[in-house]
Amino acid sequence: MFPKLRPLLEAVFDAAGDGTEHVITRYRDPRQNLRTQLIQIIKRAGLNPCPKLFQNLRTRCIWYN
């Protein structure tokens, strides 16, 4: 886990109600295809998506303050 991500997730977890299992609930449906949506967004921005999109996003994670 990226060091700057941990406090953000912990804050959301702490704010969640008792018995909550997931801090990110919007994309829990396995039928959703996030890759297709992200590729469409990238193309609308006039850019070319890379082949291993999510892998490259994780590998090149840069945090700006």
Residue ranges per domain, the chain? 5-59
pLDDT at 64: 47
Residues 6+ apart with CB under 8 A from 2: 61, 63
pLDDT at 62: 62
pLDDT at 11: 92
pLDDT at 63: 52
pLDDT at 47: 93
pLDDT at 22: 81
Q: Could you say which residues of the chain have pLDDT below 50?
A: 64-65
Closest CA to 39 of 29, 31, 47: 47
pLDDT at 29: 83
- Helices (runs of H) and strands (runs of E) counted in the chain: 3, 0
Both tokens of residue 39?
């590729």
pLDDT at 60: 72
In the chain, % helix, strand, coil (3-state, to 5) comes to 45, 0, 55
Spatial distance between the Cα atoms of 57 and 1, rounded to a whole number of angstroms: 13
